[in-house]
Amino acid sequence: MFIDSAKIKIKAGDGGDGAVAFHREKYVAAGGPDGGDGGRGGSVVFQVDENLSTLADFRYKRKYTAQRGENGRGGRCAGKSAPDLLVKVPRGTLVKDAATGRLLADMSGDSPQVIAAGGRGGWGNTHFATPTRQAPRFAKPGTPGQELEVLLELKLLADVGLVGFPNVGKSTLVSVVSEAKPNIANYHFTTLTPVLGVVRMGEGRSFVMADIPGLIEGAWEGQGLGHQFLRHVERCRLLVHVVDVSGSEGRDPKEDFRIINEELEKFNPELAGRPMLVAGNKCDLTDDETVEAFRAYIEELGYAFFPIMAPIRHGVDELLNAVNERLSKLPPILRFEPEPEPLAPESAGRREPVQVTEENGVYFAKAPWLEKALSTIDLTDSESLQYMQRLLIQSGVIDALREAGVQEGDTVDLYGVEFDFVE
């Protein structure tokens, strides 16, 4: 089954929490803090696998979660970092942020790409010891790993793309010039998936040709089958437009040529300027005058024309030589550059904003990072409470409460921790 798009959820591992621990040794009355740091969470890494040709595996598994880093331990022992989660995809896969459409990676090369970074491990309480705070009873939690929904799109890597109406002979042409064996029959949409074939032009010379399922008018907006595979044309360095020059199915070859070119332009305007050769197939089913009239029409538009009879390979070698010569002068297969992450507004802090709500005279302050930070606070320890106070001030929680209208003496609830607000 050929699947060229899929949507999955990925979640990098959270960082492990720092440990709150103190040195315990016989005859040592007051051991200092020795809580270790948490380990790094595993990242989600995408890697090309040459054995994969479709995205079918992602139809059955849609969520990929990396492991969490280990928590720190006493004795200044750091938690173990989690291994990265490796996600294998076919070469040519684009990874996009499903929410924004931003391109995260083009999996065309061999280098692995980190798509979701694992969270950092939190600091143990050894980091918070000062001359005035010699026994800190708190530590930092690990930061959460990145989590996002990504869209996978497979765009085949081919030097040459064959385009044209159904049943014009594209599959036949691929079958006689390469080892590819596409389905061939005298009816429309025999080819239901793109077919790749390697064309060998002698020692050290070859190129990849893609047979794109037949396009029809309106393909760019969902008509027929071609709209599902137009994306595979985008990487091709050169297009070969195959036309039934005989008009054996009652269509005008000139009109066929015009319609397909318009469909390519509507799908992606850049395709209109893509280098193109025109192959007039089925020349044996018409007279020389018709072929020459079509040649004149094509050459007037600025394209090179090659009359062929694909099944018996008549004129095919001339076409292949022209393709090979043209490819030698063209740049490599197109690779898409990842789009940079949009800059955050200058006013945005490093943490997510705090949400403040009021219910029955009680003000509730909530933020994902705040809940985890409070879980490490020892409410029975004065130094730990002082640290929490500074955290609330520096992180903007107090300012958010003031903006929400809290007054002195009002009750504030932070994930079950209640206190009276004091200016």
204, 134: one domain: no
308, 367: one domain: no
181, 320: one domain: yes
Per-residue pLDDT for 221 more than 50? no
Q: Distance (Å, rounded) from C-alpha 47 to C-alpha 88?
A: 5
Cα-based distances in Å from 221 to 6, 98, 210, 214, 229: 20, 21, 22, 15, 12
Q: Following CA atoms 403, 404, 409, 414 in sequence, which dihedral angle do they give, to the nearest 10 degrees?
A: -110
Cα-based distances in Å from 197 to 273, 291, 325, 355: 24, 28, 18, 57
Q: Across residues 15-29, what is the average pLDDT?
A: 84
- Number of domains making up the chain: 3
269, 378: one domain: no
pLDDT digits (tens, 9 = 90+) for 117-146: 999 999 998 988 888 778 888 888 888 999
Q: Which residues are CB-neighbours of 28 under 8 A, at least 6 positions away?
A: none
251, 297: one domain: yes
pLDDT tier, 31 (very low <50, low <70, confident <90, very high otherwise): confident
pTM over 0.75: no
66, 51: one domain: yes
Structure-model confidence comparison of residues 241 and 166, the more confident one: 241
How many other CB atoms are found less than 10 A from the CB of residue 292?
12
320, 187: one domain: yes
How many other CB atoms are found less than 10 A from the CB of residue 248?
15
313, 387: one domain: no
Query: Of the candidates 133, 154, 175, which is a domain's last residue?
Result: 154
Q: Distance (Å, rounded) from C-alpha 203 to C-alpha 326?
A: 18
Note down the domain range covering 64: 1-154
CA 191 to chain CA centroid, nearest Å? 28
- What the block records as the tokens of 159 is 């030097």
Q: Which amino acid is at 178?
A: S
Q: Phi and psi dihedrals of 315, rounded to 5?
A: 80, -5
383, 309: one domain: no
76, 98: one domain: yes
142, 205: one domain: no
Q: Phi and psi dihedrals of 250, rounded to 5?
A: 85, 5
The answer to whether residue 304 is domain-embedded is yes
Query: Of the candidates 154, 174, 206, which is a domain's last residue?
Result: 154
Per-residue pLDDT for 81 more than 50? yes
pLDDT digits (tens, 9 = 90+) for 306-331: 999 999 999 999 999 999 999 999 98
* 44-53, 176-185, 272-281, 410-419: the lowest-pLDDT one: 176-185
Nearest to 144 by CA among 369, 354, 344: 369
The answer to whether residue 340 is domain-embedded is no
Q: What is the CATH number of the domain that holds 76?
A: 2.70.210.12
Instruction: Count Cα neighbours of 50 within 13 Å in the Cβ-side half-sphere.
Output: 3
* pLDDT, averaged across the chain: 84
Structure-model confidence comparison of residues 378 and 160, the more confident one: 160
139, 170: one domain: no
Cα-based distances in Å from 253 to 61, 141, 208, 249, 303: 45, 69, 27, 10, 15
